């Protein structure tokens, strides 16, 4: 195993700093290191050795950014020289990194041993720890290891006894292990936060929680909106699973270095087989915390949620430190609404034509096809979010003194509002109620009846997740239909999500001459700036108008 890189002595650092300040290398070496220049060696090579020593030290401390800064340091660049001097002060006295049970074996063990361990499925220190029993000749089942390699591994674990203690508290982690969702999570006592490194004194804590899981649940319970709870729980769930499985730490023991590592993990979760998979119900073994890599914007959102969670834990005197304080994401600023996420009038008509023939041409059952058409028409005509549509009831529809019909909803941030129910939405609802054998006259409605009918023997109400999957399946069907004649539209449909119905609603409403404030109020936007993003002109029309005004002169 490689020895820990040594920190340069003060004379070497003085010579290197002088060189960074512009002192010629020969003068710097003659002044501070007169006895270091061997026969035939140049002063430049002496300075180069000091630089390489500093780079190796930074690399050994897992500080790749500081290593890159020092490697690029030159007196010809004042900014680089200043950054290198700051890097030296940051590295000074920094202890060597300590191994974590989730680390890959190749990070800490010699290359000659790694191949033998990988051959039997041992890829992390946690797996290796659980394979090392206390009896003699434990290595005989691992081809290619041998007594010498086994003894070096035993010596490594002897230098780091905490690894064995933590690993025994966890289930062995491997590439095919099924991660457990939040509601079924049982956290080992060793990493549950009951003895967290950064726990505040128990006597001053305002929570009854004795561990991190209970404390986070208390934080989640503050939010009355079910959608907000789900969103925040997802971020907390991902973090607590990662902290236990990959770092072997409790949430209340996480350091800033852990938070920075988690930021990188969110951008590309790995190992992929353990963390990433297609959307699946939480009750199935195929469930995974991620469906893919997170964008800069999604990563910034996740970090902002976790930052708020830790701030609250500090306010309740449960924790002493917030590891996510100051951890930012480059490129994570809120982006402008992508107005391409809407269908044109022609595209929407084509989508509806395919929807009309689902049960006859594409194998959908009649109730499923009827439900799909209703969801499409109602969402398009009202601009409701999917989460709002799945919980809508007949009792939330009423008429005012002017005879106008409205539907009352509770949107984002648990804000109550009302949305106009135009004739297209009302016609779709009447048709769908009749198909379900329910009365169309409002006076005969049962207020608790869901707008969206129930399918299947269990009769359970459709969830947002299920509705999302149904609409995505439909868009994929339409994409297959138009693939040959319009490959660009087919690609657009495969990218489309159910939220595009809301974008399409707003775009068509504005193109039809509706006032900006009308669209803002119907979408329940807090600001006109958000609604104004839908005010995009047709590129073809814009190009024609400019070309007509500035036509080339006739010859």
The reply to whether 280 belongs to the active site is no
523 is written with which tokens?
Answer: 């979408």
User: Residue 416 is inside which H or E element, if any?
Assistant: strand 416-420
**226-242 helix and 256-267 helix, angle to the nearest 10 degrees:** 110
Catalytic-labelled residue, pool 502, 503, 520, 524: 502
Catalytic residue among 267, 412, 473, 495: 412
Burial (CB count <10 Å: 0-12, 13-18, 19+), residue 281:
exposed
Q: Which of 36, 436, 499, 536 is catalytic?
A: 499
Backbone angles phi, psi at 357, to 5 degrees: -115, 25
Residue 296: both structure tokens together = 């800069």
CA-to-CA separations, 33 to 6, 92, 510, in angstroms, rounded:
17, 20, 75
Catalytic status, residue 385: yes
**For residue 125, what are the CA distances in angstroms to 131, 262, 310, 400?**
10, 19, 29, 67
Q: Please say if 233 is a catalytic residue.
A: no
Whether 123 is a known active-site residue: answer no
Extract the tokens encoding 398: 């009423």
Q: Is 534 a catalytic residue?
A: yes
The token pair at 446 is 């049962």
Cβ atoms of 243 and 185 closer than 8 Å: no
- Give the separation between CA 43 and CA 49, rounded to whole angstroms: 10
- Residue 179 structure tokens: 């991660």
**Which of the following is catalytic: 17, 426, 472, 525?**
525
Active site annotation includes 412: yes
Cis-peptide into 237, omega within 30 deg:
no
Identify the helix (H) or strand (E) that includes residue 476.
helix 464-482
Scanning 160-294, the segments in alpha helix (DSSP H) are 161-168, 212-220, 226-242, 256-267, 272-275
Catalytic choice (385, 503, 505, 520): 385
Longest dimension (CA), the chain: 104
What are the backbone angles phi and psi of residue 23, rounded to the nearest 5°? -70, 130
Q: Which residues are catalytic?
A: 385, 412, 499, 502, 525, 534
């Amino acid at each position: 195993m490689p020895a820990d890189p040594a920190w340069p002595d003060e004379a070497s650092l003085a010579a290197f700093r002088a060189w960074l300040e512009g002192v010629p290398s020969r003068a710097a070496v003659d002044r501070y290191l007169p006895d270091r220049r061997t026969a035939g060696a140049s002063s430049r090579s002496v300075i180069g050795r000091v630089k390489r020593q500093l780079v190796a030290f930074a690399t050994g401390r897992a500080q790749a950014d500081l290593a890159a800064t020092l490697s690029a340091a030159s007196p010809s660049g004042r900014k680089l020289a200043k950054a290198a001097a700051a890097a030296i002060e940051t590295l000074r006295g920094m202890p060597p990194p300590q191994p974590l049970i989730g680390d890959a074996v190749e990070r800490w063990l010699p290359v000659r041993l790694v191949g033998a361990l990988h051959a039997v499925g041992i890829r992390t220190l946690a797996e290796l720890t659980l394979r090392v029993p206390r009896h003699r000749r434990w290595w005989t089942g691992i081809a290619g290891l041998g007594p010498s390699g086994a003894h070096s591994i035993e010596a490594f674990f002897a230098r780091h006894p905490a690894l064995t203690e933590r690993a025994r508290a966890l289930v062995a982690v491997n590439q095919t292990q099924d991660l457990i969702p939040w509601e079924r999570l049982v956290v080992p006592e060793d990493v549950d936060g009951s003895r967290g490194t950064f726990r505040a004194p128990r006597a001053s804590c305002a929570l009854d929680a004795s561990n991190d899981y209970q404390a986070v649940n208390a934080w989640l319970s503050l939010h009355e909106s079910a959608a907000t709870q789900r969103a925040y729980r997802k971020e907390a769930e991902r973090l607590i699973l990662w902290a236990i499985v990959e770092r072997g730490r409790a949430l209340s023991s996480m350091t800033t270095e852990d938070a920075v590592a988690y930021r990188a993990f969110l951008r590309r979760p790995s190992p992929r087989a353990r963390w990433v998979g297609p959307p699946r119900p939480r009750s199935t073994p195929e469930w995974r915390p991620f469906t893919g890599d997170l964008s800069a914007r999604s990563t910034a959102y996740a970090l902002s949620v976790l930052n708020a969670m830790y701030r609250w834990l500090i306010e309740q005197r449960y924790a002493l430190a917030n590891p996510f304080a100051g951890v930012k994401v480059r490129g994570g600023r809120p982006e402008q609404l992508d107005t391409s996420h809407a269908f044109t009038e022609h595209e929407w008509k084509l989508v509806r034509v395919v929807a009309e023939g689902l049960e006859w041409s594409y194998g959908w059952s009649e109730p499923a096809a009827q439900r799909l058409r209703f969801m499409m028409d109602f969402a398009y005509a009202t601009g409701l979010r999917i989460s709002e549509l799945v919980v809508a009831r007949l009792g939330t529809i009423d008429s005012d003194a002017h005879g106008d019909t409205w539907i009352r909803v509770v949107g984002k941030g648990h804000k109550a509002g009302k949305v106009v129910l135009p004739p297209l939405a009302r016609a779709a609802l009447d048709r769908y109620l009749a198909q379900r054998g329910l009365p169309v006259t409002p006076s005969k409605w049962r207020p608790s009846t869901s707008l969206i009918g129930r399918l299947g023997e269990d009769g359970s109400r459709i969830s947002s997740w299920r509705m999302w999957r149904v609409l995505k399946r439909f868009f994929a069907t339409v994409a297959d239909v138009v693939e040959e004649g319009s490959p660009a539209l087919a690609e657009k449909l495969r990218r489309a999500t159910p939220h595009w119905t809301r974008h399409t609603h707003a775009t068509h409403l504005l193109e039809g001459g509706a006032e900006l404030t009308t669209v803002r109020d119907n979408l329940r936007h807090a600001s006109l700036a958000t609604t104004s993003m839908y005010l995009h002109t047709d590129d073809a029309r814009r190009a024609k108008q400019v070309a007509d005004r500035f036509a080339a002169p006739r010859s």
